[in-house]
Amino acid sequence: MLIFWKLNLAIDMTGWINMEYTYEGTVDIDSIRSKLDEEKETVVFNNQKVINNVGVYSITWEKAFSIVVWFDSSINEVDLSKLKLDFKNKVFETLKETNNTIVETKYTNIWKSFWDYIRNTAILTLLIAILAITIYVTYAFSWVIWWVSVISFALITLITLFHDVIISAWLYIISWYFFKDFQIDTFFVTALLTILGYSINDTIVIFDRIRDNLKKFGWKTWKNWKELYEIITISINETLKRSVYTSLTLFFVLLTIFIFGPESIAWFILAMMFGTIVGTYSSIFIASPILYEVNKSKKLSVYKKVVINQDDKIVV
């Protein structure tokens, strides 16, 4: 979906233009927005619509308003520049019909290269964060487990973090069909980085409990010795209430902000809500089972069972 779908990109993620106007008397912002929504449907290039969205915003305490238009950044810059200029002229003609005192005071044109920079930086940031967390887990769990490979903890953490980012992004893209105002912007990238921090916290709590229980139940010479799957199950059960309660508490807070909070951060909050659900799920139902699958064939005990034949003669 990230590759093939036409994403609803925000102003800082695509080629766009920003126009500001002043006026005398009064203007109907909703009427202007409705007319421009109809006008954008007429702008096509190679039989495809090129305008993703049009926003009309009044400027507080001034007789002025701004219009922001998001364009499809896949079009080459020469044709895109012409399309932007043509639409700017159409917008001005439409505004003049509603109020002939309207005057254009500012025109800003942002090119696709800015979005390329933001996108590449976002991808690099996410990869660095995931790699750094993986290295930390490798260090944190080194020299404390004798039977389960520390590399498996690190690699599984890497897998679950990648899973959390991808699934959260997918849920967010799906939600655009229900909330047309939601867009992919730098807030979205920030939300994904925050999700990484929360998800790794939940995973580490369970892994740390598994590590402690390995020390407690992993020696075959001990009376209360248990198999690896039993140790992992015990560890999950011991941390299950904590994980669920913590996640529910956070989710209810985010839900409250999403419903009653400012609209400007609603997109960020929605991505965080998805990340909370996915991060909790992956820690319990993905990370721990994979840890078992990777290490189930290994013997937990460092001691070897010695079979003594009573008929053997011992020579001293």
Q: Rounded distance, CA 198 to CA 129, Å? A: 13
Residue 248 structure tokens? 């529910």
Give 256's pLDDT tier (boundaries 50, 70, 90). very high
| Cα 40 from chain centre | 30
Q: Rounded distance, CA 85 to CA 218, Å? A: 71
302 has pLDDT over 50: no
Give 114's pLDDT tier (boundaries 50, 70, 90). low
Q: What is the CA radius of gyration of the chain?
A: 29
Q: Rounded distance, CA 37 to CA 31, Å? A: 10
Residue 269 structure tokens? 């909050």
Taking domain 11-110, whether its CATH number is 3.30.70.360 is answered by yes
| Residue 124 contacts residue 131 (beta carbons within 8 Å) | no
185 has pLDDT over 60: yes
- CATH 1.20.1640.10 residue ranges for the chain: 114-295
Q: Please write the tens of the pLDDT for every residue from 36-82.
A: 888 888 888 888 888 877 888 888 788 899 988 878 767 777 788 88
309 has pLDDT over 70: no
AA letter at 269: I
Nearest Cα residue to 179 out of 278, 258, 67, 72: 258
3-state secondary structure of 107: strand
Nearest Cα residue to 51 out of 15, 5, 77, 95: 15
Q: Which residue has the higher pLDDT, 113 or 38?
A: 38
**307-312 average pLDDT score:** 54
DSSP 169-236: HHHHHHHTTT-TT--B-HHHHHHHHHHHHHHHHHHHHHHHHHHHHHHHH--TTSTT---HHHHHHHHH
AA letter at 195: I
Cβ neighbors of 71 (< 8 A, separation 6 or more) are 14, 15, 16, 17, 50, 51, 52, 80, 83, 84
Share of the chain above pLDDT 70, in %: 85
Residue 2 structure tokens? 């990230």
Q: Which residues of 250-260 are buried (b: 16+ CB within 10 A; e: fewer)?
A: beeebeebbee
158 has pLDDT over 90: no
- Tell me which fold the domain 114-295 belongs to: Multidrug efflux transporter AcrB transmembrane fold (1.20.1640)
Per-residue confidence (pLDDT) for residue 237, from 0 to 100: 93
Q: Which residue has the higher pLDDT, 151 or 167?
A: 167
- CATH 3.30.70.360 residue ranges for the chain: 11-110
Per-residue confidence (pLDDT) for residue 252, from 0 to 100: 95
Give 11's pLDDT tier (boundaries 50, 70, 90). low
| Residue in the block written with tokens 């893209």 | 173
User: Within a 10 A sphere around the Cβ of 215, how many other Cβ atoms?
Assistant: 13
DSSP structural state of residue 305: P
Q: Which residues of 220-233 are buried (b: 16+ CB within 10 A; e: fewer)?
A: eeeeeebebeebbe
Q: Which residue has the higher pLDDT, 23 or 55?
A: 23
